[in-house]
Chains A and B, each alone.
Chain A
Amino acid sequence: MKSKTNKDLIADAEYGLDSRYNSKKERDSEAASLMEARLIRMKNLSKEHIIRAKLMQLKLKMKAYIEQPIYDDQNHFAQDINITPIRLSQVINNHRDPKDEFIMKLMIHSEKVYENICEFQKEIWYQVYFHEKLCDTMSSQEEWRTKLEKDVKLSEAID
């Protein structure tokens, strides 16, 4: 079997990197010398680098907060807006249209969620709902137009 060349080793450097310690003793000894070297480097960190690191930390924490799911499951959300889980599921899966009251509850719920983050645009849920309706209606014309056109006429011509 041919032994690996330096080129092969570099090509494989990122395939199968095993960085586990063999023993606690090995781990502790390496940790001690690493910490010693790091403490010297840390002393030489400029104020600017420390500020950059703190700003990056803030950015990463904000990102994690925003991406965090508010609910683990649908049932808790249904409880919070005081509707049955079945009704919520029907609306989410397009088996039932949401009533005005449902959209208004979403509006109030979102206001509460965003209270400490930013201003929530009250009209957004209505816009989402009606935009979806509009898209659905326009994209399904082939299905409904032929039948309904027979029912619609202009009795008086408009000039």
Chain B
Amino acid sequence: MNVIETSSGNSHFVEINPVEDGDYKTLSKSRFFFDWKKEKAYEVYKLQLSRTREIIGLISLEKIPEEWRVHIRLLTLSKGNIGREKQFDRIAGNLIAYAARIAVKEYAEYACVSLRPKSQIAQHYIDKYNMKLTGMTLSIEVPEILDLINQYDHEK
């Protein structure tokens, strides 16, 4: 997995790991938008640069086995990675692809990753990640979910 440094175009290796108890004190609301301590009951993962260990993205997930679905509850990039001044590209894509891997590993051809963004930004997820809209919910399923995994596994 990798992210792209926007200023140079250089690729940087990243890792996604579960957030540990000790991490929460570093995940401030000012840098990561939400109060992540409230998500402790769910599966929370951090995306870190392999070289520096800096956390640059977070995602919290809820597995819903009876629906063969993994629901993205919260997702954010660190503050320095939004808008025109962002340092790295592909952070959110890697996190969504990680949720997709969990779903396919558990549910194979029934796998589904869902989220429900505000209506103004739904189109962004439809265009960028090939998601489908049902009511208020966006979802990605087979075959698009497999393409997403492959895209983020292989692109350098």
A residues adjacent to B (C-beta < 8 A): 6, 8-21, 30-31, 33-35, 37-38, 41-42, 45, 49-50, 52-54, 56-57, 60-61, 64
CB pair A52 B143 closer than 8 Å: yes
**8 nearest A-B pairs in the assembled complex, by CB-CB distance:** A14-B92, A16-B33, A53-B109, A60-B105, A13-B121, A15-B82, A57-B108, A13-B124
Interface assignment of B34: CB less than 8 Å from any CB of chain A: yes
The closest CB in chain A to the CB of B135 belongs to A33
Q: Mark B32-60, 1 if CB is under 8 A from A, else 0.
A: 01100000000000000000000000000
The A interface, classified by DSSP as helix, strand, loop or mixed, is helix
The answer to whether A56 touches B139 (Cβ under 8 A) is no
For B9, list chain A residues within 8 Å (CB). none
If A10-B124, A15-B82, A53-B143 are given as contacts, then 8 extra A-B residue pairs at C-beta distance below 8 Å, sorted by A number, are A9-B120, A12-B121, A18-B74, A20-B74, A30-B137, A38-B141, A42-B141, A60-B101
Choose among A17, A20, A42 the residue with the greatest number of B CB atoms under 10 Å from its CB.
A17
Residues of chain A contacted by B146 (CB below 8 angstroms): 49, 52-53, 56
Encode contact with A along B129-156: 1 for CB under 8 Å, 0 otherwise.
Answer: 0001011110101110010010000000
* Interface size counted on chain B using CB atoms at 8 A: 47
Chain A residues with Cβ under 8 A from B142's Cβ?
45, 49-50, 52-53
Q: What secondary structure prevails in chain B residues at the interface with A?
A: mixed
Residues of A within 8 A of B139 (CB): 34, 38
Residue of A nearest to B102 (CB): A60
A17 and B105 contact, CB distance less than 8 A: no
Number of CB contacts from chain A to chain B under 8 A: 117
| A13–B91 CA distance with the chains assembled, in angstroms | 12
Considering the complex, give the chain B residue whose CB is closest to the CB of A30: B137
| Inter-chain contact A17/B115, CB cutoff 8 Å | yes
Enumerate chain B residues within 8 angstroms of A33, measured Cβ to Cβ: 134-135, 137
The answer to whether A31 and B104 touch (CB under 8 A), given A19-B117, A49-B143, is no
Residues of A within 8 A of B112 (CB): 34, 38
Using Cβ atoms and an 8 Å threshold, which residues of chain B touch A34? 67, 69, 112, 114, 134-135, 137, 139
